[in-house]
Structure 1
Amino acid sequence: MTKSYMPLFRSPRQFKKIYFILIPLILAVIILHVFFDGFNKISEYSPTFISNRILNHQDQQQKSEKSSDVISSYFPSLAIYPKNFDNRVEFVNEPKNSKWIQYFGDSKTVLSNYITNQTYTNHSIGLYSSSTVKLPASSCKDILYERSFEITKYRTLHDDLYKLATTLSYQLENDPAFQDLSPFFNDRLPHIIMRGELHKHIYKFAGTSVWLEQHGVHLMLSRVIYSQQGKKNDPQLSLLYAQVYDENWNELNDIELIVPVINPNGERVYDSVKYPQFVAIPFYHNSEYIKSRWYGPEDTRLILTKNKFGDDEPVIIFNSYHRQIKDMSTEDDNNVHTKFEFYRSMFVGWLFQYQLGKLNTDGIQDSKFNNVTFNKVKELRIEGKERTSIEKNWTPFIDPDERNQISYYGNHNLGDNYVYIVYQWNHLKILKCELDNFIDSSHSTCTMFFKDVETTQEVGPVRGGTELWPIKIDNNNNNNNLNEDDLSTKQEPQQQRQLWIGFLRAHVKDCGCGGSMYRPNFLILEKLNSKFKLTYLSGSINFNVSVYGWANYDVVCAGHEANALIPNGISMFDQDDDYLTLSMSVADQDNTLVHIHGVKKLIYSLDHDWNGILKENKQIECVVNNANDFCKAYADEHYKLGDSEAAVKEVKQKAKEEAEKAKAEKEKAEKEKAEKEKAEKEKEEKEKEEKEEKEKAEKEKEEKEKAEKELAEKELAEQKDEDAKDEDKNEDEDDKEKNDESGLTEKSEVEENGENANEGGEDDGDGDGEEEKEDDDDIDV
């Protein structure tokens, strides 16, 4: 029996209608998938495709005609993969940004056109040499070398305090490393933001940065202090705020860097770190005890090292308040009494390495922090020396000659095993501290690697400053007349001197400007046969930066305040083209950048012939004298400008005196006016009185005259009346006489008649007698 033949493909007539529908549908799905970039969308959610995607993206970028080797050319909200990204390394947190790039720029990207195209002006400085010749006290000028470089106008980086405060609020609420700090703010932060009072309670300054060559960005750390009472000189908390800037110093907000980190287990993994953010530095704190305690990292210096995997590793050196167990005693079976001591000590910290808990800062392990991830830190302990109550102002640097050779992957003996620290500048003391392979895992052991001259002197007024940057020059250098072209093309011989450059800060007190003054000083440190020497140190440099008042922006040199321009870090130094960027802070309140051209040229113009012999010299003394002279000159200048406290006080005093004088003159004028008015009034009153008296007198006179006249007239009238009466009287008398005469005549006649008629009776005689009496009476009247 044979099996019937079955053809591989059926004849077209045997295809069912469903196939004619299915095939176009599949083709349509594929077309739509390609059109909407579906394959890449899927790959975004699959770690398996990340490395291929990056490689493909890099190939596309390199084939593109448009230059794309600078971060500023991309959309600001993105994730940046390093150019040495290794797809064999595990990812712990993938980026949240859907827009991403892998950076592939070269090391020259840090020197952008933005920096080179700026206007540079000449700036003179004086450098004091550590000559071994013993000089008299008045001969600082004999070791002074006048030099110059070129600088740009300073630029103050913008502070977005609102962005800073909202970032802090988010981390206080959501980041376990920050949640325990919430009691310091007492839920006041939203109210401070709402009232627009952030500038009264939050201050951001002391910015220091490094260039991340694998990502093409500047990573800057700034100190942020918070004051509950709104007083800059009374903060309770100090934190570190990390920001990312492109090659033109524009901040990149909400950006993620894909960085290789070392987790608490010591494993190298990739992590996506978002910026800006506050860095989770562990430190001891107690929100119930804040008087005379400043919690958190201070005076942070950032330096770029190589870790044991060969990765660029930003390392910080800072001081912080912490506690350690002094004594433990058992009171009974259940209670243990622990006594603590408190210190302000120096620490080293790693931005891309982590630890669990904070035993090394709190003295004991608090169980609530057991699973909380912090940045890795270790206390820097000087071998053979007990802790002192305060350690600060250490200057870090790396010796590139000690850096182990880098292999591709997996070698645990790579990179920088040590960091050097200048412990003291006058009578130089240098420590060598562990960065790996720790003798004691609880701390980093520092050995006293070099001491200039044994002394018990204190740190002195020249201290701190930036990290130091390595540079090599020819041995027995005599290139005093090299131009810039010679410097860039010069072939370096085998024998070279190892130098470091940086900027210290001279801190002089009671020098004539407020309580104290801080200014940068350029330095050159040299190493020869394991010996170090501060070969050159400049006087005070102002970089043409306007330094405003500590409390009152418009008034400098006030009271006991500091007049402060403090160097924080060297952000970059391109030795080929001789450009350097320096970050500084003014009055502990901002971050300021100055770009400098010609530092390498300046270095080459100096003699470098130190033979390794160590002797006493006057260098530091001369620098301090210069700082005091600078301070006095600054105070005099601003006194003339009128914005120093002394000038303001004098202006106020003059204004007060003028006001008092004007007041006195006004009072005098008013008094004189009043007296004049009074005198005039008195005069008027007197004249009025005199007039009235005169008028009265005249009136009295008139009245008197009138009365006299009237009296005279009256008397005259009376006289006339009397005369008239006299006349009448005379007439009457004459009449009487006449009457008398006639009466006598009549009488005689009567008598005669009486006699003749005597017998007429008595009544007639009486009647006549009364009539005569009445007549007499009338006359008398």
Structure 2
Amino acid sequence: MVIFSTLYYAEQDTVLPDPEILLDKVHNQSKKVVIFPRNFHLKNDKLIGYYTGILDQELSPDDIIFKNRFNHKLQGVSYRPTTIEVFKSSEDPQCENRSSNLNIEVSQPFNKNANLYKILTKFKEDNSDYYKEMKIFFPNLEHELNTGIIQKHWFQLIGSSVWLQQYGVHLMINRVFYTKTGDKVKPNMSLAYVRIFDRNWQELENVDLIVPDESESFKVISYPNFLPIPVYHSVKQQDGRFYGIEDPRIMLIKNNERYEEPVIVFNSHNRKISRIASYKDTKSTIHLKPYRSMFIGWLWRSQKGKSNIDDIPSRVTSNSNYVKVKELKLPKNERFKKEKNWTPFLNYQQQLDNGYDVDLYLVYQFEDLKILKCSLLNDKSECTWEYQLVEESSPKINKLRGGTELVNVNQILAKSKFRELRRIKNQMAQDKQIWIGFARAVLKDCGCGVKMYRPNMVVLIKEEGTYRVSHVSSYADLEVPILPWNQNRNMCEGKNLLIPNGISSWNFAKDEFGTLQDYMTLSLSRADSTIDIIHIKGILISILDEEHLSVDVATTKNDNNIKCAIKKSQDYCVAYGKDNYDKSINSLAAELKQHMDDIGSQL
């Protein structure tokens, strides 16, 4: 067999091309790219043989195969200053005494929407087992493709992503959903679409990652693709069901094999047996109840069938291959009709102590703080309460809800070796852990539309075994232009949404003036129809000064800072609605004047 593929490697006297030249070659040729992990055990000149022989894969002329040597790269973008108002945890009841401003810088948003026509055409043409299972929910897909009306029934949002250091790429998960009526609030089926971007945030459209499998060898996973997530569905019962995967959030965990792997946390409609009624020992009637439940999925692992997510699984799918998932349940198997908006995070100290992540932690609710701990090491679905501010209180739905994951600040600091960070590291107590992320306050009929969402930055601290939301911001639009819920309509008709989805990366680096800064990439969705990223500079530097580290976690046991943030967010909504109303009136007045002038000129 003759292999015409291009192998890039660096052995002794051989010089590898500049990384940017290699990336240009990848994009210009539109060929397959095969990426082995940075720490792969074989030398570079053995990669083709391993790929075509051991993994039994094919290569075409000019396909590119290499062992990763790309590092994360800061984006050369322009920034502009803005502020975030934060409220500190304190016993002081006055909001103004808790308030301070964080001075940060933000870039413009960069849209990363996929080409729906292209990806749905490929989904249909590939005709995978997963497509065959799901196509009954969108039977008119071929007609929609042929007539160019995809945009009326298919939408995309959420761009949660992680940087895969071993592969030198960003891995992003999107939600793509179909609505028969064209109404975005009535999806029939939601799918998970996974994509790869290079370090310059350019999409790679034909990639094979060589990833570890569960048998201590390696396997090929191809991107982009629609993830075969096992979900319950019934085409005969669609009203109000919203089948499929919703609100996927991707994270990297370090597993007990000591390598990083991506997992997603999501919610999905399912059903559970509520009771079984027997009649004269001859027959039984099974009663089922619908629920919306939380799940975790391991993107590089697989399972057969759906027996772990459906109490009465179909025989038709019993041998189908899916992404491995498990349900995340409340303690004592307590179950409510709808579970969503849990905020995931990891305990970096636990990873240091064990060498890997043992548990996944989730903020169940920010107000009356409740935190769950769920095992990553077994198939046990029942979680335990890691912390409850008020133990006897029942879980409840509050206005401040989940958005992004929470990122462990201790881990960011530990990986950064800059001398300027020594003071901050030395200042932090040995047992203190800090997490930062973005929640979202859900405000209904607050002055603009039926619902308004904006990001609210939150800081979670653990010290001496106690957790506290130490800081929470009011609405932070991050200077992102908002889109109307429906095209060519008023901004305050329908919903007015800017939703934070994930923190793609967060690193320290020197800016052009030699000053140490932290750089975050945040993914957002606007109007439930975009996948955007923005770059933010200076959040961590601003929050980690002496003033902001001085919260007394042990003695402050109230949610007054959250209440202040919600109140200020409501003020934002009222002001936004008034400003939009004034602009609408001025626009109508201008149109009327122009119309009258046109009439006058004709007389």
C-alpha contact (below 8 Å) 2:439/2:500 kept by paired residues: yes
What is the one-letter code of the residue matched to 1:179?
K
Q: What is the alpha-carbon distance in structure 2 between the residues aligned to residue 361 and residue 338 of structure 1?
A: 17
Sequence identity (%): 33
Q: In terms of mean alpha carbon deviation, does 493-502 or 143-152 score higher?
A: 493-502
Aligned with residue 624 of structure 1, among 563, 566, 577: 566
Amino acid at match of 2:90: S
Aligned to 1:521: 456
Could you tell me whether the CA contact under 8 Å between 1:418 and 1:435 is conserved in 2? yes
Q: 1:103 to 1:617 in 2, by over 3 A?
A: same
Q: Quickly say closer, same or farther: Cα 1:86–1:364, change in 2 above 3 A.
A: farther
1:58 and 2:5 equivalent? Answer: no
- What secondary structure, in the 3-state scheme, does the structure 1 residue paired with 2:201 have? coil
Distance in 2 (alpha carbons) for counterparts of 1:238 and 1:95: 31
Rounded to whole Å, the distance in 2 between the matches of 1:330 and 1:71 is 68
Aligned to 2:162: 210
- Where 1:422 maps in the other structure, the secondary structure is strand
Aligned-residue offset at 1:170: 3.2
Partner of 1:125: 84
What secondary structure is seen at the aligned counterpart in 2 of 1:460?
A: coil
1:180 aligns with 2:133: yes
Whole-angstrom CA distance in 1 between matches of 2:488 and 2:481: 11
2:469: which partner in 1?
Answer: 534
Aligned residues: 571
Tell me the equivalent position of 1:295.
Answer: 243
Structure 2 residue 470 is matched with structure 1 residue 564: no
Structure with bigger gyration radius: 1
**Distance in 1 separating the partners of 2:68 and 2:208:** 16
- Whether contact under 8 Å (2:301, 2:324) holds in the other structure is yes
2:482 to 530, 547, 559: 547
Counterparts of 1:238 and 1:640, CA distance in 2: 38
Question: Once the two structures are superposed, what CA deviation does each residue of 1:613-640 show, in whole Å capped at 9, x if it has no partner?
Answer: 2422411111111111101111122223
2:375 to 417, 434, 439: 434
What is the 5 A alignment of 1:130-529? 130-133=89-92, 135=93, 139-171=94-126, 173=127, 175-186=128-139, 188-262=140-214, 267-329=215-277, 336-403=284-351, 415-438=356-379, 440=380, 444-454=381-391, 455-456=393-394, 458-472=396-410, 487=420, 492-493=425-426, 495-496=429-430, 497-529=432-464
Amino acid at match of 2:573: C
Report if aligned partners of 1:69, 1:104 keep a CA contact under 8 Å in 2.
Answer: no
The aligned amino acid for 2:401 is R
Change (3 A) 1:65 1:324: closer
Shift of the 150–384 alpha-carbon distance from structure 1 to 2, 3 Å rule, reads same
After superposition, the Cα gap between the structure-2 partners of 1:152 and 1:95, relative to the gap in structure 1 and judged at 3 Å, is farther
Structure 1 unmatched runs, 5+: 1-37, 45-52, 406-412, 476-483, 663-668, 670-781
* CA RMSD in angstroms, aligned pairs only: 3.2
Q: Distance in 2 between matches of 1:62 and 1:557?
A: 64
The one-character-per-residue Cα deviations of 1:321-373 (angstroms, maximum 9, x if unpaired) are: 00122234556888653221211011111101111000122212322222211
Q: Give, as a single letter, the amino acid of the residue that structure 2 aligns with 1:338.
A: I
Q: Secondary structure at 1:445's aligned position in 2?
A: coil
The answer on whether the counterparts of 1:95 and 1:258 sit within 8 Å (CA) in structure 2 is no
What secondary structure does 1:204 align onto? strand
Q: Partners in 2 of 1:315 and 1:418 — Cα distance? A: 13
* CA distance in 2: counterparts of 1:336 and 1:58, whole angstroms: 65
Call closer, same or farther: CA 1:641–1:80 in 2, change over 3 Å: same
1:110 counterpart residue number: 72
Question: How far did 1:472 drift?
Answer: 2.5
Contact 2:10 2:16 in 1 (8 A): no
Q: Which letter maps to 1:255?
A: V
| TM-score, length-scaled by structure 2 | 0.87
**Contact 2:504/2:521 (CA < 8 Å) preserved in 1?**
yes
Tell me the distance in 2 between the aligned counterparts of 1:540 and 1:73: 40
Mean alpha-carbon deviation: is it higher for 58-67 or for 594-603?
Answer: 58-67
Say yes or no: does 1:594 pair with 2:534: yes
| Secondary structure at 1:362 match in 2 | coil
**How far apart are the structure 1 equivalents of 2:190 and 2:403?**
19
Q: Secondary structure at the match of 2:449?
A: coil
Instruction: Give the Cα–Cα distance (whole angstroms) in 2 for the partners of residues 416 and 527 of structure 1.
Output: 17
Q: How big is the shift at 1:537?
A: 0.8
Residue identity in the other structure for 2:563: E
Q: What SS does structure 1 have at the residue aligned with 2:339?
A: coil
- How big is the shift at 1:60? 4.1
Distance 1:132-1:236 versus aligned 2 partners, 3 A rule: same
Q: In the superposition, relative to structure 1, how do residues 586 and 231 fare at CA in structure 2: closer, same or farther (>3 Å)?
A: same
Counterparts in 2 of 1:353 and 1:332: CA distance versus 1, 3 Å: farther
Q: Secondary structure at the match of 1:131?
A: coil
Q: What is residue 548 of structure 2 aligned with on the other side? A: 607
Moved more, 494-503 or 278-287: 494-503
- What is the one-letter code of the residue matched to 1:637? D
Give runs of aligned pairs for residues 548-697 of structure 1, distance below 5 A: 548-558=483-493, 561-577=494-510, 578-605=518-545, 606-611=547-552, 612-642=554-584
- Alpha-carbon offset, residue 382 of structure 1: 1.3
Greater share of residues in helix = 1
Please give the alpha-carbon distance, in whole angstroms, between the structure 2 residues aligned to 1:129 and 1:85: 46
Do 1:244 and 1:253's aligned partners in 2 also have CA atoms closer than 8 Å? yes
Other structure's SS at 1:387 match: coil
Distance 1:258 1:140 in 2: 53
Amino acid at match of 1:351: L
Change (3 A) 1:214 1:333: same
SS in 2 for 1:492: helix
Whether contact under 8 Å (1:402, 1:416) holds in the other structure is: yes
Q: Measure how far apart 1:103 and its partner are.
A: 3.3
Partners of 2:122 and 2:429 lie apart in 1 by 51
**CA shift in 2, pair 1:121/1:486, >3 Å:** farther
Give the 3-state SS of the residue equivalent to 1:384 in structure 2. helix
Structure 2 counterpart of 1:75: 26
Distance 2:106 2:519 in 1: 10
Superposed CA offset, 1:529-587 (max 9, x none): 221111111111111111111123442111xx220000000000013551110000000
Does the 8 Å contact 1:330/1:336 carry over to 2? yes
Q: Using the TM superposition, name which of 61-70 and 383-392 deviates more.
A: 61-70
Residues 298 and 324, structure 2, Cα contact 8 Å, conserved in 1: yes
CA distance in 2, matches of 1:651, 1:631: 24
In 2, the alpha carbon distance for the partners of 1:217 and 1:596 equals: 20
Q: Residue type of the partner of 2:88? A: S
CA distance in 2, matches of 1:151, 1:97: 42
Change (3 A) 1:71 1:208: farther
**Residue 597 of structure 1 aligns to which amino acid in structure 2?**
K
What is the letter of the counterpart of residue 450 of structure 1?
Y
Q: CA deviation at 1:486?
A: 6.2
1:764 is aligned to none
| Maintained 8 Å contact 2:34/2:210 | yes
**Aligned 8 A contact 1:500 1:526 in 2:** yes
| Larger relative strand fraction | 2
Secondary structure of the corresponding residue to residue 149 of structure 1? strand
1:582, 1:531 → 2: CA distance?
28
Distance 1:142 1:495 in 2: 25
Contact 2:348 2:411 in 1 (8 A): no
Cα pair distance change 1:489/1:142, threshold 3 Å: closer
| Secondary structure in 2 matching 1:624 | helix
1:462-514 superposed Cα distances (whole Å, 9 cap, x missing partner): 11110011113999xxxxxxxx9863575833844311111111111111101
**1:222 & 1:128 partners in 2: Cα distance?**
32
Distance, in Å, in 1 between the alignment partners of 2:397 and 2:303 is 33
